[in-house]
Amino acid sequence: MSSLISNTELTQQLEILLPDCADLIIISAFMTQPATRWLGHLITANKPKVKLVGRFTPNDFVKGASDLNALRDCINNGYQVKALANLHAKIYQIDHDTIFNGSANLTGKGLALVNNGNLESCSRVNACEQSKAFINKIVESATDLTLNTLDKMQAYLDQFEDTDKPELPAVWPEEILPQATELFVSDFPLGKPGVSLNEYQLNPSLPFAQIEDTKNDLVLASNLFKQTKAYRWLKTKITENQSERDLGFGQISRLLHDALADDPAPYRQEIKDLQANLYSYLKLYASDEVEVYMPGRRSEVLRIIRKKNERS
């Protein structure tokens, strides 16, 4: 049975385990140089295969939560560095038999490597096949970063004056960092429009957290909604099936159940809740592109609104 340990104890255990490890996966929303240099000193001799996955949004670098130079060091050291915009997890997997999970980021404060370190907690997790599969899914879902990508990120951030940086988008432009292709629960609205959620406060890079943050600007919020993976997926499914019949609520639910990559898969009721939330946003921000109607007493049905020049 595992017990809770502090980040100081986690650091001590990592300092024992890492010098002899062959494979290392660290999933951490934030990463900074004090921790990445500490890591590099520990594993210089044995040169393990290292995979690092972080959140790495524009605001993370502006606020100093993560450090582009730290990532450059890691890539130069031969580590695989990847980004996943909706990441909030902190997981350390050493080889195939040791997993730590908790609140400690790969940062100086997160691992108590600096004097004003945070107080974090962590526990050792059973390295069962399910746990390793969950970690592998996160790694596979993330997007690889290169030195060229980091240069583009830096150039993008340099375009903004200090006074403009609070207005930075929460995600990178597609030409810098394309979105992952897999569809996850976190790509969908976790509540109805206008509802304040703790999840959005914890991870403002979530697509619908961004929409809620801009809800007072209808045009901007509408543009952000139409760019979300959830809406683009929905619109694609409607288009693919429009030759047969307009899609009802139950049909979309089945398609969404098959499309979600979360492991374990969400319950069907949770999928229906996500779908209902998405429909609410659709009516608010994309009623010019997709119509939601109810034929008779049946459930809500969707169809693409054809423009005038497409009807002729």
Strand order in the sheet with 98-102: 4-6, 121-125, 98-102, 90-94, 23-28, 49-54, 80-83, 143-144
Residue linked to tokens 């400690």 = 104
Q: Which of 3-7, 92-96, 233-237, 298-302 has the lowest mean pLDDT?
A: 298-302
Q: What single DSSP character describes residue 185?
A: G
Q: What is the pLDDT of residues 4-18, one digit of tens each?
A: 999 999 999 999 999
* pLDDT level of residue 207 (50, 70, 90 thresholds): confident
Residue 288's alpha-carbon distances to 63, 141, 243, in angstroms, are 37, 32, 20
Residue 169's alpha-carbon distances to 94, 165, 174, 188, 214, in angstroms, are 35, 9, 12, 18, 11
| Both tokens assigned to 110 | 């997160």
75 contacts 81 by C-beta, under 8 angstroms:
yes
C-alpha closest to that of 289 among 236, 220, 243: 236
Instruction: Tell me which H or E stretch contains 241.
Output: helix 229-241
| Both tokens assigned to 312 | 């002729």
In the chain, CATH 3.30.870.10 covers 4-158
Q: Which of 98-112, 172-186, 263-277 has the lowest mean pLDDT?
A: 172-186
Q: What single DSSP character describes residue 166?
A: G
In the chain, CATH 1.10.10 covers 181-311
Q: What topology does CATH give the domain 181-311?
A: Arc Repressor Mutant, subunit A (1.10.10)
What amino acid occupies position 208? Answer: F
Task: State the CATH architecture for 4-158.
Answer: 2-Layer Sandwich (3.30)
Q: What is the pLDDT of residues 231-284, one digit of tens each?
A: 989 999 988 876 656 778 998 999 999 999 887 788 999 999 999 999 999 999
Mean pLDDT of the chain: 89
Longest CA span, the chain:
72
Q: How far apart are CA 71 and CA 147, in angstroms?
A: 9
- Beta strand pairing status for 80-83 and 49-54? parallel
